Structure 1
Amino acid sequence: MEVKTASRLPGERTKKRKYSMKLLLMALPFLVAVFVFYYVPLFGWVYGFYDYKPGIPLSGSEFVGLKYLRIAFTEQGADLARVLKNSLVLSFLGILVSPAYVAFAILLNEMRGKWFRKWVQVTTTLPNFISWVLVYSVFYVFFAVSDGVVNQVLLKLEWLKQPFNFLGNSDIAWAFQTMVGLWKGLGWGAIIYLAAIAGIDQELYDAAKVDGSGRFRTIWHITVPGIMPTFVVLLLLNVSNMLNNGFEQYYVFYNALVADKLEVIDYYVYRVGLETNDFSYSTVLGMFKTIVSVTVLFSVNWIAKKIRGESII
């Protein structure tokens, strides 16, 4: 038997190499796409070191070194500080409501009606695939000042004496956008926690039933600890991604009344680069965001290694 096993080893190794090569060839198009769309644009960082003007070749532009980086922290320091504040606050509020995804996944898992559970999951996941333009249209119908459904109902109930401007009130802009993001991503964000719940050993639940544990106690002592590692990893990744607020949401909800609260760094880069044609300064802003994000990512990875004993990346 040992001789036969030894004789099959070279053939098994060859099959393993062929299988690995097939997997590599399958992944190759995606690796090329990642390189083209994520790494090739990094060569554009060179524009941040030149006084580039549209229509003039880069070779004919003046090399200015760190001029625009100094401008970002001196002449434009107030604007940059405001934009960073908006980005960090909105990201922090998003992290603050992240337990809602866990709670929603647990509630879905505890639903006994199979068809009703699927209907709720599909209904709540659908907004994730709706464009932000349509999302704004939906919220405009409900929260518009003049003929919005919410204002009309509140006025008829006499809870308001005059219409309230939900979309143009800077005092509630951060909370309102957090609510919008939660509504759009609740069902989609719960999927990974449902997968984590499905991976919990079913024998633990059976043992809890034998011991006489009720539904709430079972959730608290089995389900929550079972998905906590997943929640911690996603939480740490969200913390490291705090400057990546996105662009579409704040672009469609942006207006003059809430401009001071909704101008995050991605929108600021767009406004500086495409609306004012200051490509050099917008490039420096993008570089700054990338460097800070990577620094935070590795810092969080180091913290995770100290706490959990293993790193995320």
Structure 2
Amino acid sequence: MSVPDILAADPAPLPGAAPPGSAAPGDATTARRPWLRTLTHSRSLATGLVLLAIVLLVAIIVPLLDPGGATRLQAQDSLAGPGAGRLLGADQLGRDLLTRLAEGYRISLAVSLGSVALALLIGCPLGLLAATGSPRLGGLIMRVLDVLMAFPALLLAIVVVALFGPGTLVLLLAIGIVYTPIIARVMRAAALETSRQSFVEAARARGASYWRLVLRHITPNSLGPVIVQATILMAVSILLEAALSFIGLGVQPPTPSLGLMLSAGRDFMASSPWVVADPAVAILLVVLGFTLVGDGMQEWLDPKKRAIAR
């Protein structure tokens, strides 16, 4: 064999090494599942999902173990401290705090998911219409949304609750109205940026109709920032629901609510701090979970950050 032939020949693989062009089994699995790579590299997303999984398990399992325990009055256990009988203690009426926290989680998660879903249902079409419709129509839509955004979120929610009366459904509606202009503005900005991309211009040059451009090209490629914003708004909605319930404009007793628990326990902070500490820590965990998931989703949906993570 000549020298050029020897140089051109492939080197012999080492014992136990993978054949050329093939990836290790773990790398192949990660390549096929990009979400798995994101979980392994994004600590914020993994931590947030773990926190939300714990919250969801508590909200589902604890009420099943003690049905009716959230509203059962036991005067002999009034302000009982945390112990074997009551893991997180009892409130001033002897009700188990762990069960009440689990029921409060159910209310908070339902209001959070429902209000954000309502905002997405209304805000996304408005944002798309403002970005892709006529300039006059887009300007009119954005001016109306600017008026809504001029009000502080809590004040606007209080106005809606004052008009329709307190209650869980009204609270969901109020928070959804507060979030609609935020979702619409994010969707409009993402749609405007997407509509200037080369693949949209190419589809328009091929004669694609307006609805095909919007539904097939612009909308799917504009949802990334909206998803991240919606995840962050879920965290804020937990705080907003707790704030409205704290001042008596949200969930009404005897239905458990994290904000109501804070309001009812503030008179016993000095003698029984767990009455306030338990719902405060519960709010902290769920808000932190949604916030971390939002940060992780932003990293996952951003191609630049995803490339750095690799």
The two structures have a TM-score, normalised by structure 1, of: 0.54
Correspondence for 2:125: 103
Residue 130 of structure 2 is aligned to residue 130 of structure 1: no
- Any conservation in 2 of the 1:124–1:187 contact (CA below 8 Å)? yes
Q: CA deviation at 1:253?
A: 6.1
Question: Secondary structure at 1:71's aligned position in 2?
Answer: coil
Query: Cα gap change, 1:292/1:177 in structure 2, threshold over 3 Å: closer, same or farther?
Result: closer
Identity %: 11
Correspondence for 1:211: 206
CA–CA distance in 2 between the matches of 1:72 and 1:302?
A: 36
Correspondence for 1:280: 273
Q: CA deviation at 1:222?
A: 1.5
Question: Secondary structure at 2:88's aligned position in 1?
Answer: helix
- Any conservation in 1 of the 2:245–2:259 contact (CA below 8 Å)? no
Question: Secondary structure at 1:226's aligned position in 2?
Answer: coil
CA–CA distance in 2 between the matches of 1:291 and 1:79?
A: 16
Moved more, 80-89 or 235-244: 235-244
Correspondence for 1:4: none
CA–CA distance in 2 between the matches of 1:220 and 1:199?
A: 15
Residue 262 of structure 2 is aligned to residue 269 of structure 1: yes
- Any conservation in 1 of the 2:248–2:260 contact (CA below 8 Å)? no
* Superposition map of 1:228-239 within 5 A: 228-238=223-233
* Superposition map of 1:1-313 within 5 A: 70-71=88-89, 75-100=96-121, 101-114=123-136, 116-131=137-152, 132-133=154-155, 136-137=158-159, 140-141=162-163, 143=164, 167=165, 173-200=167-194, 201-238=196-233, 243-251=238-246, 254=249, 258-260=252-254, 264-273=257-266, 275-277=267-269, 280-281=273-274, 282-294=276-288, 310=306
CA–CA distance in 2 between the matches of 1:260 and 1:112?
A: 50
Query: Cα gap change, 1:242/1:71 in structure 2, threshold over 3 Å: closer, same or farther?
Result: farther
CA–CA distance in 1 between the matches of 2:160 and 2:286?
A: 35
Q: How many residues align?
A: 217
Instruction: Letter of the 1:197 partner, please give it.
Output: A
Q: CA deviation at 1:283?
A: 2.6
Q: CA deviation at 1:108?
A: 1.5
CA–CA distance in 1 between the matches of 2:253 and 2:155?
A: 18
Q: Which runs of 5+ in 1 are unaligned?
A: 1-64, 144-166
> Cα RMSD between the aligned structures?
4.1
Correspondence for 1:57: none
CA–CA distance in 2 between the matches of 1:189 and 1:299?
A: 18
Moved more, 66-75 or 276-285: 66-75
Instruction: Letter of the 1:205 partner, please give it.
Output: V
Deviations 1:80-104 (A, max 9, x none): 2322221111112123324322222
CA–CA distance in 2 between the matches of 1:126 and 1:249?
A: 22
Query: Cα gap change, 1:125/1:276 in structure 2, threshold over 3 Å: closer, same or farther?
Result: farther
CA–CA distance in 2 between the matches of 1:205 and 1:104?
A: 20
Moved more, 178-187 or 131-140: 131-140
Deviations 1:175-230 (A, max 9, x none): 33222222223123221222212222344333222222111110011211221222
CA–CA distance in 2 between the matches of 1:140 and 1:181?
A: 13
Query: Cα gap change, 1:123/1:249 in structure 2, threshold over 3 Å: closer, same or farther?
Result: farther
Q: Which runs of 5+ in 2 are unaligned?
A: 1-80
